[in-house]
Amino acid sequence: MATQPRNQQSVLPSQENLLLDYVHRLERHRAGRRAVHIHISRLRAENRRENHVRIAANSFETLIRNRMGQIFTLSNTDLFFVFKMEAMDEAESALVRIRFLFSEDSLLSKDLSGEAADFLTWYNIEQEYEQVLKLAQQFVHEERERRVLEEAELAVAKFDDRPKGTDMTPEVLAKVEESLSRADLSNMMRRQSVCAIVGQAPPQPVFSELFISIADLRNTLLPDVNMVSSRWLFQHLTETLDRRMLSLLNKNDDRSITGDISINLNIATLLSQEFLSFDDNVKAGMRGSIVIELQQVDIFGDLGAYMFARDFTHERGYRICIDGLTQMTLPFIDRERLGADMFKIVWDPRAAAASNSDAPEKIRDIVQRNGAMRVILCRCDNNDAIEFGHRCGIQLFQGRHVETLLAAEMRRRQMPGLNRQY
């Protein structure tokens, strides 16, 4: 598939840029406009997670749907809401709900006045337009600096393979598993979309991977331990997490199994009682919408166990995806002989740069043999990964950059009047 030159690739603007553009448009329509800056970035880290920000932003859903205001979710987790004066009561009501959501945070609990002055900053756009304009420009500048810094840190991290923290030991693992038996892991469950991105079209979700965030787990339970220092102990830990994940999904009141999803599991988990219980609770018609992801290393560690688990899951109606493939190992994997339905390739910019430009052609041949809907490029942290995937004929992508594009597109759809309503 031919791709557009890099400078012509469709890259969705940041929320900061959308806000600045919106403020410019308001210059001649500032009468009767108010704005409130919600400083979620000032809250404790555990209150700034993606789900908290999303819930807070959704508090203004009715006002946005009725074209009475526009919400902008900034990259530092802050919210900036611009609305018409006649919607002041509804806006304040939404803010009451948001303050209640974060009422246990020290920033709000210490504010006895109830005004939440450190949490909310109000603006009368009619009288303070220039101030709001400068603020929006500052947001854009800070977002650009933040992105450059993150890219630099990511580049350093990819070349820094030194282990972090003390080594994992059986004693440490035992303490962690004891903590896991009591911990509520629902707040650590994450959902990351696999999206179809074709040409310059916006991303279209195909299915979502459900997983427990290892990073959050480490920060909560093991801040000073290098969890991957022992491969076998880490695998034992992941099997424990598998069981907790299935337990969460087995809850009658859980709403996570909606739409097409994937779950990354160990082969040993597929042969466990916990998975049988999970399978019993899944409606027969839903099994075809669930993808079981298995790590390449786990598969080849015990091919016999894999084949047994593969046949069982296929008989029940699930699909299997081989995860953890690289550009180097991909040519040695025969998907059909392994009986898998799809596979994931981990994006590695160093490998792509060192491939003497023939990697896209080799991967393209594999994609064409297997079908574009069976190949996923994951860990796409920037647009370079999307461009590389397009050169390889890949249409399915997953990663932080994909989530950013998807969130921006969803926010754009929630603002139908952005180009017409002021």
Confidence (pLDDT) at 59: 92
What's 228's DSSP letter? T
Confidence (pLDDT) at 93: 92
Q: How far is CA 299 from the centre of its chain?
A: 26
Question: Which residues are paired to 343 by β-bridges?
Answer: 322, 375
- The token duo for 327 is 């550009």
Give the Cβ contact number of residue 32 at 10 Å. 13
Q: State the amino acid at position 284 in one-letter form.
A: A
Cβ atoms of 368 and 393 within 8 Å: the answer is yes
Question: Which residues are paired to 124 by β-bridges?
Answer: 34
Cβ atoms of 214 and 227 within 8 Å: the answer is yes
Nearest to 99, CA basis, from 81, 122, 116, 82 = 116
Site of tokens 């911990």: 183
d(CA 349, CA 126): 48
Q: Which residues contact 209 (CB under 8 A, 6 or more apart)?
A: 191, 192, 193, 194, 261, 262, 263, 264, 293, 398
Site of tokens 């480490």: 218
Structural domains of the chain, ranges and CATH numbers in brackets:
6-140 (3.30.70), 164-410 (3.20.20.450)
Tell me the angle at which helices 231-250 and 273-281 cross, rounded to the nearest 10 degrees: 30
Collapsed DSSP state (helix, strand, coil) of residue 272: coil
Give the Cβ contact number of residue 210 at 10 Å. 19
Nearest to 397, CA basis, from 410, 385, 408, 409 = 385
N residues, the chain: 422
Give the Cβ contact number of residue 83 at 10 Å. 23
Confidence (pLDDT) at 233: 79
Confidence (pLDDT) at 351: 64
Q: DSSP strand E in 85-243: where?
A: 120-124, 166-167, 189-196, 204-212, 225-226
d(CA 297, CA 268): 13
Give the Cβ contact number of residue 111 at 10 Å. 15
User: Rounded to whole angstroms, what are the CA distances from 421 to 22, 35, 127, 130?
Assistant: 10, 16, 20, 20
Backbone angles phi, psi at 33, to 5 degrees: -105, 140
d(CA 256, CA 14): 28
H or E stretch at 317: none
d(CA 72, CA 82): 9
d(CA 262, CA 210): 6
Q: State the amino acid at position 165 in one-letter form.
A: G
Q: How far is CA 341 from the centre of its chain?
A: 23
Q: DSSP strand E in 185-280: where?
A: 189-196, 204-212, 225-226, 261-264
> Which segments of the chain have a pLDDT < 70?
1-12, 110-116, 148-165, 229, 252-259, 351-357, 414-422
